[in-house]
Amino acid sequence: MRPFWPISLFALACLPALATDAETDFSARARALHERLVTLDTHLDTPANLQKPGWNIMQSHNVADDGTQVDYPRMIAGGLDGGMWAIFTGQGPLTPEGRAHARNAALQIALRIHTMVAAHPDQFEIARTAADAPRIAAAGKRIVYLSIENSYPIGEDLTLVQTFFDLGVRVMSPVHTAHNDMADSASDASPAPWHGLSPRGRQLVVECNRLGIVLDASHASDQVFDQMLALSKTPIILSHSSCKAIYAHPRNLDDDRIRKLAASGGVMQLNSLSAYLVDTPANPDRNKAMAEFFGKYGGSRSLTPAQTEVLNRERREFMAKYPVKRANFDDFMKHVRHALEVVGPEHVGFGADWDGGGGVTGMNDVSCYYKITEALVQAGYSEKDLSNIWSGNVLRLLHAAEDFATKQKKP
């Protein structure tokens, strides 16, 4: 039987100040329900932290100290069973050298994820099928699916899709914040080269369908979304997106497309990154200072623990000097509630973008994740609804992709 984890000091830190006995009792009951569910987040950027010298997934960290939001103790505290651990590579030059560098970096990230799991076999397990998730959760372990954010590492070699599938990748997005070989980005202000998917991007859709990889339209332009929806033989996902009706960011999805996604069987996973939830005024001085700050340190993977400590201290000083408007938990829940009102609990879930810029005031790291269940119970959603929202919908997509791929192999 899956163990029940009582409210910890992490969880108590997420409770409102001066809560009444009734509020505390309700929170405890909602937490107990939360623990009965299999809970998945479809966009964890935590693999980026695995390369940091001295950083240990098994140790408890503080987002205020080092900026990280996910580790094993905080997953336990927030009742998160696991999810999609992202292999992310930022977009670089579309040259043979750039593509090769991205490919190698992505393979190294995949290796670090597998190394983490191998080092802690009693706490983590790689998941490859939809059926793996409930089994792993029942064993009291954290679920580790692999995903690719940005297909830049695939470059011009689509045989690499098979390579990453063999490594466990089950969700893949074609593009990030800049246009690339596969598709146009929603966030790139330069002229769109493809007006949707490129010819190679269309081949990527076919290959992902063949293997049983769920296609992810987060970060893609609206035209890419439309074309992926039309071309894919299995439902697609938005692994970490928000609602344009609440905040009209180019990265967010409009209601008409959310409905089309649901009609095709797809799922929208809600993001918690402030810039996609609320209007954040531009600050050129801050942007310039930030570029100088990161330029000073270069790649953080090469820093010693002592240097990393200095970087974290200076990062806190930077944030204090250049504060930025930050969304709060209610801002996040406005997007969640809107998506639920538009398409219902069979097509909504969570991909909060932890360790990739996500987190809001009142839900700063994964230890507070159970607060969402509390808010949805308060709003009248049933345990069945919550089971779908937290994992059932995503597992349905994984199963559909697996089923299609299996049928293609039969003579």
Banded model confidence at residue 410, pLDDT cuts 50, 70, 90: confident
28-280+328-409 topology per CATH: TIM Barrel (3.20.20)
Record the tokens describing residue 175, joined without a space. Answer: 């593009």
Task: Report the chain's mean pLDDT, rounded to a whole number.
Answer: 92
pLDDT at 25: 83
pLDDT at 351: 98
CA distance linking residue 10 with residue 367, whole number of Å: 6
The three-class DSSP label of residue 272 is coil
Give the model confidence (pLDDT) of 164-175 as tens digits. Answer: 999 999 999 999
| Close Cβ partners of 34 (under 8 Å, ≥ 6 residues apart) | 79, 370, 373, 374, 386
pTM equals 0.91
Helix and strand numbers, DSSP H then E, in the chain:
17, 9
CB 9 within 8 A of CB 49: no
| Average pLDDT for 52-61 | 94
Which of 24-28, 220-224, 342-346 has the weakest average pLDDT?
Answer: 24-28
Can you say whether the dihedral through the CA atoms of 282, 284, 285, 286 is positive or negative? Answer: positive
pLDDT at residue 324 greater than cutoff 70: yes
